[in-house]
Amino acid sequence: MNALFSLQNIRQAYNGRTVLNLEHLEISQGSILGLSGPNGCGKSTLLRLLAFLESPAEGTVLFKGYQYGLSPNEVHRRVTLLVQEPYLLKRSVFANVGYGLKVRGEKDIEQRVHEALDMVGLDPDMFAKRSWYELSGGEAQRVALASRLVLRPTALLMDEPTASLDESSAGLVRKAAETARQQYGTTLVIVSHDLNWLRNVCDSILFMERGRIVEQQDFLQE
């Protein structure tokens, strides 16, 4: 598969302390990559670099062979990040999920919102009109995921997407990730401490320590 992301000689530092040090990393288009390791090992920093939310102190991050900066451009329409504790607008579920489509002037918003809610296991007839404050923590997390999936992103980056979910909801998130790849060709990079969950959804898992990749496990998914 072709590389969607290519990172070369990456070093990221905060207040003079190096938190990420990668010589080379390629992420194939259409793949599902897991990132795991202890807190503070650089996983979330790597996600932010891949989302072009910050620039490395040294090195290059390429997306489809091109280097992009932090200013708004086409790449920010194609790469989206789901953080561990996502923020919801103080509006209905429908308004939250459809917000990105509305901003972009897309058509068929209702159909796509309902499709995205179905993907994360939330019945549109039951949830579309609910207010943000009527959701449980797990439901809010899945609404936030739906708001990313509805954009049909080229790359979806997720930081601990199942940390606050029960086993059933975590399974629905896994199914949504697989469906996004199958239907939209989305590439996923997922940070999680739940190795069993990662092994069930990922093609490969990278294990990180002190800002470096120390091990890679590859899986043959059916």
Q: Which residues are paired to 119 by β-bridges?
A: none
Q: Which of 49-53, 59-63, 72-76, 102-106 has the lowest mean pLDDT?
A: 72-76
Rounded to an integer, the average pLDDT of 165-191 is: 93
What predicted TM-score, i.e. pTM, was given to this entire model?
A: 0.93
| Helix, strand, coil abundance in the chain, percent, nearest 5 | 35, 30, 35
Q: What are phi and psi of 45, to 5 degrees?
A: -60, -45
What average pLDDT score do residues 109-134 get?
95
Assess contact for 189 and 27: CB atoms under 8 A. Answer: yes
pLDDT in tens, 65-88: 888 877 667 788 899 999 988 789
Under the banding of pLDDT at 50, 70 and 90, the label for residue 220 is low
Domains and CATH numbers, the chain: 3-86+153-218 (3.40.50.300)
Contact 92, 72 (CB under 8 A): no
Q: Kindly tell me if the per-residue pLDDT of 219 is higher than 90.
A: no
Between CA 79 and CA 89 the distance in angstroms is 20
